[in-house]
Structure 1
């Protein structure tokens, strides 16, 4: 993932240098251990390798992933704990309308958010797909919408597709939205 993340940093250098400055230093082994211990799961190696390059972003500048914050290990834990509390208090009877391969839960303890828009919407690593899904697939989790879509079969594939969208100009940095957005949104 080093090579792919270097391409992302190159794009940021040329298109949104403040975004590059917003990246955190690498996650330490202790931070990775705290994350996996708190979540109670083994995270995919491709995702861990990205956290060891940059532990998310500081959140002081624009969101780096499709109008969403790239979460650090500590922010992943915060979002995970928020969903865990909601599951107990407000979500236990809600079901979603998922793509084939995704469980019909509104939220599942094995859906690990790695982005956030600050309003309960995330891209998640799905570590508990149904029998027709792929462990580690990337899904959408929108707080107020029942759709749960598969957007990629792995984190590395998702990241490569994201880079392609940046490099083809389909995703751009917008000062107006202070975010990287689809060019169609401008």
Structure 2
């Protein structure tokens, strides 16, 4: 019977310690002959009767070893599932994995299942509806923490600091920071400002938004974001700083020019100034992912206020002022989270574990 163990002593098969990448010939000496499947980008070695698969980029050294616990239908899948022993620090590995969620390490962004790690080796668990299909063993090196120098916030925008702190505190109270959709990152850098703050020759991201993003930024997520604004029953995800220019350009593509009809502007708030689909001086910072945006207004009408927040509704052609300022909008969001609790984050809590 095959015994695979991972502990402080290392990764072992039948008592022999292996280091990844491991020689395929060494695995053959331990496990016997195997079936070789050459894929487009790697080589796969399958021990059908043992329920074990080894992956190798070049065919000589194996970067990872997979143990199959459920039958799969790939050409290279073992004909039998693994029937041997699997241990982690002396305990049965699956029992340990299920009993100690706090021991799991996420190997990549969006890793819902997590891995057990010891002595430079990870055991990653692939789950389907709670059932463990495979366990993948491979080398593990803890990522070095990125060196980051926080930019000072200008004196006139210091009020963003406590607002960010309160927003983070209320969000984290409901959504744990290891949730897949908790996409907060450190603030923007000098390089970010230099490379992404100019929208065109006449328009730049305003200093208020730059200072807001100096404190914290977000990573793009294709699905949703824990850091969003709720306006008129719709969620607007905070846009990563580097993507603002692209989102701004997407809005400019929808300008009508001379083909604009007067009735199209009838639902625009008197606080905004625009004679087309949008004023180029409106800067998007949150997206509804459906053509709707929240915009920082740098060119208001005489009835409006610089820095007011506009909700651009694409289908209805409404352009309403939903907050007097970005600070006002953030405070409204903080108050909403306090009042709603988990309701706002229902999807994130259900799907982002």
Fold in common (TM above 0.5): yes
User: Alpha-carbon deviations, 1:93-124, whole Å to 9, x = none?
Assistant: 15331112112432111111111121111110
Higher strand proportion (structure 1 or 2): 2
Which one of 81, 90, 93 corresponds to residue 260 of structure 2? Answer: 93
Which residue of 138, 142, 151 maps to 2:313? Answer: 142
Q: Which one of 29, 48, 59 corresponds to residue 190 of structure 2?
A: 29
Q: In structure 2, do the counterparts of structure 1 residues 19 and 131 end up closer, same or farther at CA, with 3 Å as the change threshold?
A: farther
The DSSP-based 3-state class of the residue aligned with 2:340 is coil
Q: Matches of 2:331 and 2:259 in 1, distance apart?
A: 35
Q: Structure 1 stretch 17-26 or stretch 112-121: which is displaced more?
A: 17-26
Name the Cα RMSD after superposition: 2.6
Q: How many residues align?
A: 177
Q: 2: distance between equivalents of 1:142 and 1:156?
A: 21
1:118 matched to 2:289? The reply is: yes
Q: Show the counterpart of 1:106.
A: 277
Q: How far apart, in 1, do the equivalents of 2:306 and 2:209 lie?
A: 13
1:19–1:62 CA contact under 8 A, matched in 2: no
Structure number with greater CO (CA < 8 Å, separation at least 6) is 1
What whole-Å deviation, never above 9, does each CA across 1:25-50 have from its counterpart, x for those lacking one? 21112212333322543544442222
Residue 166 of structure 2 corresponds to which residue in structure 1? Answer: 7
Take 1:144 and 1:47, find their aligned partners in 2: how far apart are those partners? 26
Q: 1:49-94 CA distances to partner (integer Å, 9 max, x unpaired)?
A: 2211222343256333222221012221111111122226x89515
Determine whether 1:59 maps to 2:229: no
SS at match of 1:102: coil
Instruction: Please identify the structure whose Cα radius of gyration is greater.
Output: 2
* 171 and 45 in structure 1: CA distance in 2 versus 1, 3 angstrom threshold: farther
Partner of 1:164: helix, strand, or coil?
A: helix
CA contact (8 A) 2:175 2:182 kept: no
Q: Any idea what SS the aligned residue of 2:185 has?
A: coil
* Contact 2:203-2:280 at 8 Å conserved across structures: no
Higher helix share: 1
Distance 1:140 1:106 in 2: 13
TM-score (norm 2): 0.45
Any gaps of 5 or more consecutive residues in structure 2? 1-159
Distance 1:44 1:159, change over 3 A: farther
Q: Which stretch shifts more, 3-12 or 18-27?
A: 18-27
Distance 1:59 1:50 in 2: 20
Could you list the structure 1 runs, at least 4 aligned residues long, displaced by more than 6 angstroms after superposition: none
